[in-house]
Amino acid sequence: MGEVFAGRYELVDPIGRGGVGAVWRAWDHRRRRYVAAKVLQQSDAHTLLRFVREQALRIDHPHVLAPASWAADDDKVLFTMDLVSGGSLAHVIGDYGPLPPRFVCLLLDQLLSGLAAVHAEGVVHRDIKPANILLDATGTGRPHLRLSDFGISMRKGEPRLTETNYVVGTPGYFAPEQMEGAEPDFPADLFAVGLVALYLLEGQKPDAKALVEFFTAHGTPGAPQGIPEPLWQVLAGLLQPDPDARFRTATGARKALTAAVELLPEPTEDDEPVEVFDQLGPLPPPFGPAGPAPEPDPSRPAPAPQGTGSTPWTSGTPSVQEQPAPEISMSETGSFHLPPPPPRHTDQEQAPPPHQPPSGPHPLQPYAPAAAHSAPVHPPVSPSPAAPDPSQALTAQVPHDLPHTRRYTAQRPGVPTQYPQPPTPPAATPLPRKRPGPPPKVTIPVLLLALICFAVGFWALAQT
């Protein structure tokens, strides 16, 4: 796992390096996404002040890559931006060389659009070059450009952090007035845009010093080979050595570019499409597209290997879940029939081994609930000496005058069938016990005496 800043940003791998810091691919644990994190490597007061200026810049524009948030941890600080994976314009030139004029015009229009938003905030970029212009990995689709790296940018009117005679920027992309120590202004950025456009059309870094000397001595030259005249007129307006003769705003240069594009020849089928590749390497383990993989919990036991049928507390005996579910026949209505339950046995009998379900569909069979005080049912003895049929032995033990089993809703495939237990019949109510009568040697004399008394009574009635 990588280093985590402020409990939120986890560094994954370095993807670039600048003058004052390194750019890392980082995982944002709060927003659950990858970002680009610029980590400041120096901690002197001058560098920290530039860092504060850069991270304080907030410009919301589709073609501007400005800082989104920042964090500090001990003596290290960083700020984050959107992660752009298509590399810079230098990568595209390295893959294809000189680019088609219409493709360059599309990139130039997006660059001027983003620069107009930056200038509208009163900020001078001061370091426009191919390495600071990034592209999204759009493949052969419409390219999407992002202007980045505001490390030496400044607002107009703010105090400079360098001495008056010290020039800050990238050699080869300075405007002439910058070399003379003039205050940073918007036309200096537009001069650098013109040099970037020449770089894209010619496939190599232009000689800015020789170009300025030629413009100064001979005026605006003709269009170089391979650059259409309408497009060259726009570039010449960006490359004028005199800032007063140059385009004053990015919006004005963009309007002139839109008019020039209408005069360019239409692209042909032979033109090779420009594809913007993904320049970021694969994520190092344990990181994935959804972030770092969760660490295993040491408190939870490791799962048993599949196919062995054993668990840490058994000795290779297959578990109930691993036993195959018995095949059950389906009726025409989509319900299933239950096989009969095993017969019950008394304590004196030894229960037979459990019945294994047949491999084929099982027919509908009735079953009888166990009655109280019932005698065990014995199968009839077959007169044939041959071995009894197992399928007949099951039905011979159960009387056929009882109702069939009920149908029930089919269970999901692969789930072992749970056979319902037969209902337990109510306990039989005991009959009242009769008291025994007198013995015969007592009963007979009493009956004879009663008959004598009955006869005497009738004789007395007859005499009266």
Q: How far is CA 115 from the centre of its chain?
A: 36
The span from the CA of 95 to the CA of 343, in Å, is 82
Q: How far apart are the first and last CA of the chain?
A: 133
Please give the Cα distance from 304 to 321 (Å, whole number): 14
**Residue 393, in any domain of the structure:** no
| Same structural domain, 140 and 2 | no
Task: For residue 14, tell me if it sits in a domain.
Answer: yes
Are 127 and 212 found together in one domain? yes
Residue 32 lies in a domain: yes
Q: Are residues 126 and 149 in the same domain?
A: yes
Cα separation, 451 vs 438, in Å, equals 19
Q: Are residues 220 and 73 in the same domain?
A: no
Q: Both tokens of residue 51?
A: 């860092």
> What's 64's DSSP letter?
B
How is 407-464 classified by DSSP, letter by letter? Answer: PBPPPPTTSPP-PPPPPPPPPPPPPPPPPP---HHHHHHHHHHHHHHHHHHHHHHHH-
So what's the pLDDT on residue 58? 84
**What is the rounded radius of gyration, in angstroms, for the C-alpha atoms of the chain?**
49
How far apart CA 86 and CA 143 sit, in angstroms, is 10
Same domain, 180 and 53: no
**pTM above threshold 0.75:** no
- For residue 16, is it within any domain? yes
Sheet containing 21-28, strands listed edge to edge, beginning at the edge strand earlier in sequence: 4-5, 9-17, 21-28, 33-40, 76-82, 69-73
In a domain? residue 416: no
The CA distance from 196 to 230, in Å, is 17
CA dihedral 251, 256, 262, 268 (to 10 degrees): -90
Residues 113 and 205 both lie in one domain? yes
- Pull the structure tokens for residue 217: 């001595």
Phi, psi (5° rounding) for residue 106?
Answer: -65, -45
Look at phi and psi of residue 414 and say left if phi exceeds 0, alpha if psi is from -120 to 50, else beta. left
Q: What region, left, alpha or beta, does residue 6 occupy, with left being phi > 0 and alpha being psi -120 to 50 degrees? A: left
Distance CA 146, CA 157 (A): 26
Q: DSSP E strands: which ranges in 281-370?
A: 287-288, 291-292
Block means of pLDDT (10 residues each) for the chain, 464 residues, are 86 85 92 93 70 78 91 84 95 95 97 97 93 95 94 80 62 89 92 97 94 92 93 96 95 97 86 91 92 75 53 44 47 48 54 52 45 46 48 46 50 52 62 68 84 86 80
pLDDT at position 448: 87
Which one-letter amino acid corresponds to residue 286?
A: P
Give the contacts of 17 (CB within 8 A, at least 6 positions apart): 23
Q: Answer yes or no: are the C-beta atoms of 179 and 167 closer than 8 Å.
A: yes
Tell me, what DSSP letter sits at residue 139? B
What pLDDT score was predicted for residue 54? 72
- Do 235 and 270 have their domain in common? yes
The pLDDT of residue 319: 45
Say how many C-beta atoms besides its own lie within 10 A of residue 366's C-beta: 14
- Angle of CA points 404, 408, 413, to nearest 5°: 125
Are residue 77 and residue 114 in the same domain, yes or no?
Answer: no
CA 107: distance to chain centroid? 33
| Amino acid at the residue 121 | E
Token representation of residue 85 = 């994976």
**Model pLDDT, residue 398:** 45
Whole domain around residue 18: which residue ranges? Answer: 1-83
Q: Where is 324: in which H helix or E strand?
A: none
| Rounded-to-integer distance, Cα 233 and Cα 261, Å | 11
> Do 194 and 51 sit in the same domain of this protein?
no
Residue 72 makes CB contacts below 8 A (sequence gap 6+) with: 5, 6, 78
CA 372 to chain centre: 62
Domain harbouring 94, CATH code: 1.10.510.10
Do 258 and 205 lie in one domain? The reply is yes
Query: Domain ends where: 224, 251, 280?
Result: 280
Neighbours of 225 (CB within 10 A): 6
With the C-alpha atoms ordered 443, 444, 450, 453, is the resulting torsion angle positive or negative?
negative
Residues 4 and 131 in one domain: no
Say how many domains are in the chain.
2
Domain boundary among 83, 115, 144: 83
- List Cα–Cα distances, 116 to 81, 152, 250, 363, in angstroms: 20, 18, 5, 83
Domain boundary among 37, 52, 83: 83
Q: Name the token pair of 407.
A: 């149908």
CATH number, position 16: 3.30.200.20
Structure tokens at 46: 């001058």
Tokens of 167: 């020039």
316 near 309, Cβ under 8 Å? yes
The predicted structure's pLDDT at residue 17: 82
Shared-domain flag, residues 71 and 93: no
Is 382 domain-assigned? no
Whether residue 24 is contained in a domain is answered as yes
In 3D space, the residue among 317, 292, 312 whose CA is nearest the CA of residue 302 turns out to be 312
Task: State CA 453 to chain mean position distance.
Answer: 111
Q: Report if residue 342 sits inside a domain.
A: no
> Which of 403, 427, 410, 421 is closest to 342 using CA atoms?
421
